Amino acid sequence: MTETNRIEYKAQLTKDLDLEKEVVAFLNYHEGGLVYIGIDKNGNTLGVADLDADMLKIKDRIKNNIAPSAMGLFDVVAEGKDGQHIIKVIVASGSEKPYFKKKYGMTEKGCFLRVGTAAEPMPQAMIDKLFAGRTRNSIGKIKSHRQDLNFEQLSIYYQEKGKTLNSQFKKNLELFTEDGDLNYAAYLLADVNNISIKVAKYKGLDRVNLAENNEYGYCSLIKATKSVLDKMEVENTTFATITSKERIEERLWNAVALREAILNALVHNDYTREVPPKFEIFDDRIEITSAGSLPEGLSQEEFFEGVSIPRNKELMRVFKDVELVEQLGSGIPRILQSYGRDCFKFMDNFTRMVFPSSGKASHNPAPDSNWDTLQKEFHALRSSDKPSRDGFLPWVKDNLPTLLRELQESFSITSGKLQENFGKEFGTSLKTGKLRQSNIKTPTSLMVLLILALDSNTTADEISDLIGVSERSIFTHLNKLKKANLIERVGGRKEGHWHITDQG
């Protein structure tokens, strides 16, 4: 693979390498681009000697040496090629052109543009023209009408990913305007705001008969996003087709594409219009509508190819920090793997995605098993704001016999294994099919196991909220279950999840 208008190779990261020049050129280029470290000009893989250190240096240099801020507009990721480690720097086209090297300012020495396979100095006339047309109306520049904002929810989501918001987090996350006031991005991420995200469900094919109307919001956009994702997980029902040879199960909509569409709508919505995205479910489709059409300078073809111009780079940065989104430009290609380009509709002021429901959905619904029903009820509880004593704990008490029975049947955990780890009551009760619920206190470690069985992606922080005990206590019980060979960790701390060990 050779260098192109969107690909630049660098043999190694050194002090003499003008990395900032290449990044600035891609920020100012309408398609953005990729910079690879560890590949020479001929495309030969050389690798990098100190992967982690070089990635950290790259992030620091882009963060500190380029203006306007490029935070939320780039990713630095490690890749493997020809048995060697290389670094890929993904750069999106910025909306606040011209970008420049701070050392030289908005001059021909500081501003660059990608021309062919090279970063060329930008003529001063072009610099002046771009600056005159620079976006003034963005959530980073608009002052929040409330300045008494708190961010406890945001802090919890960062802690969940092993990160801490220090005293400078508002500055680091660019939650201030140029005048030092909290901006609209801060308002969206604050514990309390006036943004309501609606999930509506209609009976039929039009908007005449509203069957269900849910509102998620008035809280941190991160919390609202998780609530919408949980709700859609419940709605994305599994259906079955019975053939002469087998029973084929499928969901209403592709789960990966649906998640990407939800996140895309929430991250890239034009909040300057104060119109949040909306999600509408019909008998034959789901429609996801967000405010704003394609960003200026981005064609439909470039959009479908995954070229990214983040509308709200401040939100993009935070969503990536809490691991709701991954690499820049990865969402649309994932959607297109399951749905064609015609599922997108670009209007003057809105963008809409329409996913048809599975063609067999309305004819052969798979009857819910007990476990399916329990999982739906569990996801509904997670989406509610009820405290543990009013929500999850009474639900466990009411459904404990069924939960334990399903735990045995789905994961082959024997009655003896349950009795060994949680007490005699939980072994003998299953043999008789009875459980004296009023006299038995469910062990915390058993509740943790049940939660992970219902949804293995539930985090320690979420388990803590559901049960009503400290996160430190949850980790203690997780270790206990791991030692008992009832669960195992799949993947790393940040990207992985807990897996129930099949005892069969």
- Could you tell me if 380 and 457 lie in one domain? yes
- Could you tell me if 215 and 330 lie in one domain? yes
Report the half-sphere exposure of 441 (CA within 13 A, side-chain side): 4
Of 90, 115, 132, which residue sits at a domain end?
132
Which of 177-186, 266-275, 376-385 is the least confident region?
A: 376-385
pLDDT of residue 40: 94
pLDDT per position as a tens digit, 307-324: 877 889 899 999 999 999
- Could you tell me if 349 and 204 lie in one domain? yes
State mean pLDDT over 97-102: 93
pLDDT of residue 326: 76
Examine residue 169 and state whether it is found in any structural domain, yes or no. no
- Could you tell me if 210 and 341 lie in one domain? yes
- Could you tell me if 285 and 407 lie in one domain? no
Examine residue 125 and state whether it is found in any structural domain, yes or no. yes
pLDDT per position as a tens digit, 15-43: 899 999 999 999 999 889 999 999 999 99
Q: Let me know how many helices (H) and strands (E) the chain has, helices first.
A: 18, 18
Contacts of 397 (CB under 8 A, 6+ apart): 437, 442
- Could you tell me if 395 and 338 lie in one domain? no
The C-alpha angle with vertex 338 and arms to 334 and 340, in degrees rounded to 5, equals 100
Q: What is the mean pLDDT of the chain?
A: 85
The percent of residues above 90 in pLDDT, for the chain, comes to 50
pLDDT of residue 490: 72
Report the half-sphere exposure of 263 (CA within 13 A, side-chain side): 28
- Could you tell me if 296 and 431 lie in one domain? no
Q: Dihedrals φ, ψ of 127, to 5°?
A: -60, -50
- Could you tell me if 249 and 346 lie in one domain? yes
Closest C-alpha to 358, from 287, 286, 289: 286
Structural domain for 288, as ranges: 196-312+326-356
Q: Is the pLDDT of residue 351 over 90?
A: yes
State mean pLDDT over 259-267: 95
State mean pLDDT over 225-249: 78
- Could you tell me if 422 and 482 lie in one domain? yes
The total of structural domains in the chain comes to 3
Give the model's confidence band at 414: pLDDT under 50 very low, under 70 low, under 90 confident, else very high: confident
Q: Dihedrals φ, ψ of 319, to 5°?
A: -60, -35
Taken as a whole, the chain contains a residue count of: 504
Give the model's confidence band at 413: pLDDT under 50 very low, under 70 low, under 90 confident, else very high: confident
Q: Is the pLDDT of residue 172 over 80?
A: yes
Examine residue 475 and state whether it is found in any structural domain, yes or no. yes
Prediction pTM value: 0.59
Examine residue 426 and state whether it is found in any structural domain, yes or no. yes
Q: Is the pLDDT of residue 368 over 80?
A: no
Q: Is the pLDDT of residue 436 over 50?
A: no
> What CATH number has the domain bearing residue 44?
3.30.950.30
> What CATH number has the domain bearing residue 458?
1.10.10
pLDDT of residue 428: 44
* Whole-number Å distance between alpha carbons of 321 and 154: 11
416 contacts 431 by C-beta, under 8 angstroms: no
- Could you tell me if 234 and 264 lie in one domain? yes
What are the start-end ranges of the H helices in 248-391? 255-268, 300-304, 313-321, 331-336, 370-383
pLDDT of residue 432: 47
The percent of residues above 70 in pLDDT, for the chain, comes to 87
pLDDT of residue 11: 94
Query: What's the distance, CA 240 to chain centroid?
Result: 29
Give the model's confidence band at 139: pLDDT under 50 very low, under 70 low, under 90 confident, else very high: very high
Examine residue 184 and state whether it is found in any structural domain, yes or no. no
Q: Helix, strand, or coil here: 168?
A: coil
pLDDT of residue 419: 81
pLDDT per position as a tens digit, 201-236: 999 988 989 999 999 989 999 999 999 999 999 999
392 contacts 236 by C-beta, under 8 angstroms: no
- Could you tell me if 267 and 396 lie in one domain? no
Of 132, 156, 178, which residue sits at a domain end?
132
Q: Is the pLDDT of residue 345 over 60?
A: yes
Give the model's confidence band at 300: pLDDT under 50 very low, under 70 low, under 90 confident, else very high: confident
pLDDT of residue 290: 95
pLDDT of residue 53: 93
Q: Is the pLDDT of residue 89 over 60?
A: yes
pLDDT per position as a tens digit, 461-478: 888 888 888 888 988 999
- In this structure, the strands spanning 7-10 and 33-37 are parallel
Of 132, 149, 165, which residue sits at a domain end?
132
